Amino acid sequence: MPTTILEQTKTHPPHRGFGRRGQDTWEFDIPPGQQLASVELMIEEAGPDCGARIGAAPSAGATGHGRADINWWYSTSNAVRYRIKVTTEPAEPDAVVVESRRFAHGASRFSPVGRSGTDAVRIEAPAGHSLVGADLVFVHRRRGGAALRGVPLRGSTGTLRMLVDWTAGRFGGRVEYFLRATFEPFGPVAFIGETPTFTPNPVVAGMPFTLSVVMTNFGMRAISRFLLKAEFHVESLSHPLGAVYLQYASDEQRTVRQARFVDFDPAFEPGTQRTVARSETFPLALPSVPDPLTGNVLTPTTRGTYKVTVGVDAFTPDNFNVERVQVFNAEPLDLTVV
The yes-or-no verdict on residue 330 having pLDDT over 60 is: no
Mean pLDDT of 182-199: 69
C-alpha 296: how far from its chain's center? 29
Instruction: Read off the pTM.
Output: 0.44
pLDDT tens, 132-144?
A: 788 888 888 888 8
What's the pLDDT at 117? 94
pLDDT score recorded for residue 10: 94
Name the DSSP class of 194: S
- Average pLDDT, stretch 163-187? 87
Ranking 24-33, 44-53, 318-327, 328-337 by mean pLDDT, the lowest is 318-327
Three-state secondary-structure class, residue 242: helix
Condensed to tens digits (0 to 9), the pLDDT of residues 98-154 reads 989 999 999 888 889 999 999 999 999 887 677 878 888 888 888 888 999 888 877
Mean pLDDT for 280-297 is 78
Pick the closest to residue 25 from 60, 74, 78, 66 (CA basis): 66
- Find residue 306's DSSP bridge partners: 234, 335
More reliable by pLDDT, 240 or 219 = 240
Domains 96-185 and 190-337 share a fold: yes
User: Under CATH, what is the fold of the domain 96-185?
Assistant: Immunoglobulin-like (2.60.40)
Residue 67 has pLDDT above 80, yes or no: yes
Question: Is residue 187's pLDDT more than 70?
Answer: no
Domain locations along the chain: 3-90, 96-185, 190-337
What's the pLDDT score for residue 320?
45
Mean pLDDT of 24-28: 92
Distance CA 189, CA 191 (A): 7
Residue-level pLDDT at 220: 52
What is the reported pLDDT for 24? 93
Q: What is the pLDDT of residue 72?
A: 92
Q: What is the pLDDT of residue 321?
A: 47
Cβ neighbours of residue 32 under 8 Å, at least 6 residues apart? none
CA–CA distance, 234 with 205 (Å, rounded to integer):
14
User: Which of 59-68, 163-172, 189-198, 314-323 is predicted least confidently?
Assistant: 314-323
Residue 243: φ, ψ to 5°: -65, -40
Phi and psi dihedrals of 4, rounded to 5?
Answer: -85, 125
Q: How far apart are CA 202 and CA 10, in angstroms?
A: 54
At 325, the pLDDT band (50, 70, 90 cuts) reads very low
Check whether 7 has a pLDDT greater than 90: yes
What pLDDT is stored for residue 193 in this prediction?
65
Give the model's pLDDT for residue 176.
92
Q: Nearest 5 degrees, angle CA 3-CA 54-CA 260?
A: 75
The pLDDT of residue 218 is above 80: no
User: Using one digit for the tens of pLDDT, what is the confidence trace for 155-170?
Assistant: 677 789 999 999 999 9
DSSP 217-230: E-SSS-EEEEEEEE
Distance CA 209, CA 232 (A): 14
pLDDT for residue 309: 83
pLDDT surpasses 80 at 77: no
- The tens digit of pLDDT for each residue in 191-215 reads 666 678 888 888 888 788 888 887 7
Rounded to the nearest integer, the mean pLDDT of the chain is 81
Which CATH number is 190-337's, of 1.10.3720.10, 3.40.50.720, 3.40.640.10, 2.60.40.10? 2.60.40.10
